[in-house]
């Protein structure tokens, strides 16, 4: 399951964001709701989405359509690590 992102390559317009996910919640985190980079038990994950721009023929309204998503755990939040992910 963890290797399924390697099956395809994202093409075209790619949007990227990063988020922190709890990998191990302690009693302190459950009670206080510790957030962000400094919280113990959080893992930094890069989320990439392949977007296709769409335009409605009748109205001319523009939107995007997401086809594939990829997620990768980042070891640290540096420019080199993010460039390696892309």
Read off the pLDDT of residues 46-58 as tens digits, 9 standing for 90 and up.
Answer: 899 998 888 888 8
pLDDT at residue number 24: 66
Residues 6+ apart with CB under 8 A from 73: 43, 44, 45, 46
3-class secondary-structure state, position 52: strand
Q: How confident is the model at residue 80 (pLDDT cuts 50, 70, 90)?
A: confident
User: Strand 42-55 to strand 13-22: parallel, antiparallel, or no bridges (unpaired)?
Assistant: antiparallel
pLDDT number for residue 38: 62
In terms of DSSP H, where are the helices of 10-55? 27-32
Which residues pair with residue 43 across a beta bridge? 21
Domain hosting 11: range is 4-85
Q: Structural domain tally of the chain?
A: 1
CA angle 36, 1, 50 (to 5 degrees): 65
Q: Which two tokens stand for residue 2?
A: 């963890």
Which candidate, 17, 20, 18, 15, places its Cα nearest to that of 68?
Answer: 15
Residues 9-58 have pLDDT tens digits of 888 888 888 888 877 656 655 666 556 666 667 788 889 999 888 888 88
Cα 5 to Cα 7: distance, rounded to the nearest angstrom: 5
pTM: 0.65
């Amino acid at each position: 399951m963890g290797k399924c992102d390697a099956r395809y390559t994202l093409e075209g317009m790619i949007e990227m964001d990063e988020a922190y996910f709890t990998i191990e919640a302690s009693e302190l985190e459950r009670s206080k709701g510790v957030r962000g980079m400094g919280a113990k038990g959080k893992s930094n994950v890069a989320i990439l989405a392949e977007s296709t721009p769409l335009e409605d023929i009748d109205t001319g309204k523009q939107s995007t359509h997401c086809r594939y998503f990829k997620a990768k755990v980042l070891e640290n939040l540096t420019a080199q690590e993010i460039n390696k992910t892309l």
